Amino acid sequence: MFGRPIELFKIFGFKVRIDLSWPVLAALVTWWLSALVFPAQLPGLAPGAYWTMGAAGALAYFLCLLLHELAHSLVARTYGVEIRGITLFIFGGVAEMAGEPPSPQSEFVIAAAGPAASFGLAFACGGAYLVGSVESWPAPVTAVLGCLGILNALLALLNLIPAFPLDGGRLLRALLWGWRGSLRWATQVSAGVGSGFGLLLIGLGVVSVLNGILFGVWLFVLGLFVRNAATASYQNLLLRHALEGEPVSRFMRPDPVTVPRAISVLELVQSYLSRYQFKMFPVVDDAGRLLGCVTSRQVRALPRDEWERQTVGSLAERCSPENSIPPGTDAMEALSRMSRTGTSGLMVVDGDRLLGILSPKDLLRFFSPKMEEETR
Catalytically active residues, by annotation: 69
In Å, how far are 72, 87, 115, 175 from 109, measured between CA atoms?
9, 21, 11, 11
The residue type found at 184 is R
List the beta strands (DSSP E) in 248-313. Answer: 253-254, 259-260, 280-284, 290-295
**Residue 187 main-chain phi, psi, to 5 deg:** -70, -40
Task: Say whether 52 sits in a helix, a strand or coil.
Answer: helix
In Å, how far are 78, 125, 298, 310 from 112, measured between CA atoms?
14, 20, 45, 57
* Rg value, the chain, Cα: 25
What is the DSSP code (8-state) at residue 33? Answer: I
Q: CA-to-CA distance for 265 and 284, rounded, in angstroms?
A: 14
Q: CA-to-CA distance for 268 and 273, rounded, in angstroms?
A: 6
The residue type found at 111 is A
Task: Say whether 287 sits in a helix, a strand or coil.
Answer: coil
* Contact in structure between 176 and 185 (CB atoms under 8 Å): yes
Backbone angle region of 292, left / alpha / beta, with phi > 0 → left and psi within -120 to 50 → alpha: left
Taking the C-alpha atoms of 184, 186, 188 and 194 in order, what is their torsion angle to the nearest 10 degrees? Answer: -140
Instruction: Transcribe 98-163 into DSSP letters.
Output: SS--SSHHHHHHHHHHHHHHHHHHHHHHHHHHHHHHHTT--HHHHHHHHHHHHHHHHHHHHHTSS-
Cross-sheet strand order for the sheet of 83-89: 6-11, 14-18, 83-89, 92-97
* Contact in structure between 330 and 312 (CB atoms under 8 Å): no
* Contact in structure between 231 and 197 (CB atoms under 8 Å): no
